[in-house]
Structure 1
Amino acid sequence: MSFIWATRGHTWGFRFLRDGGCTNPLQVYDEAFAGVGDEPEVWQRVAGKGALRFPDPLGRKDRAGRVIPHEFVVLGPLADEVESVEDARRLVWPQVADVFTQVWDKPEPPSGGK
């Protein structure tokens, strides 16, 4: 499954940790999240992409005390199959949980990748 993943860490700000193989992940992200608002949990399907947002499942917080959100743009056929935040979280979070555990409290963000 291909997806874009944006989040923040304990000390570093919002970054793309996965670019989904997109040359311009910000544009794809902006298109998918257009009109979503600031709800803490979101699943919205737009033009074959899914915008997914949920708070960190372990309740991790940044240095300002805010719960860290995870935002994904789910790409490809899976986006058409998912019907809810719960469906998407169940499929996506296991693919990034270990990576986030390793990087969320590092002083510098990791570079984005596929």
Structure 2
Amino acid sequence: MHHQTGSILVLEDQPLIALDLEELLSGAGFDNLTLLSSCAEAESWLKSNRPDAAILDINLRDGECTEVAHILAARSIPFIIHSGNLKAEADSVFLRGTWIAKPAQPHALLTALHISLAASEAARSD
């Protein structure tokens, strides 16, 4: 198995989906994962951590994670929106992410993640 570098923040409040994502990502070699289920946890975690990419469900236990998306965008951290929400109804900050509608095809999610990480790496080496 190829080891992937890069830390990934996963925001998902449905335990089964979070578990699926964790299995998918660790199966693909991502072992630096942080899984959180609320906006408050994520905002707090981001104060002292910087992931290389994030996968966000818009609706978490304590509401929409708009503030989290703003923090990621401000810090140029690429993120993937993995949500059942409609793009048209979402806050405009979410449009800065890559949209993968739920339920996602695993390869679609992994491809988007690899592209995000490549972009993140390119931005860091500028």
Same-fold call, TM cutoff 0.5: no
Question: Which structure has more RCO (C-alpha within 8 Å, separation ≥ 6)?
Answer: 1
Q: TM-score with structure 1 length normalisation? A: 0.31
Instruction: Name whichever structure is richer in helix by fraction.
Output: 2
Instruction: Name whichever structure is richer in strand by fraction.
Output: 1
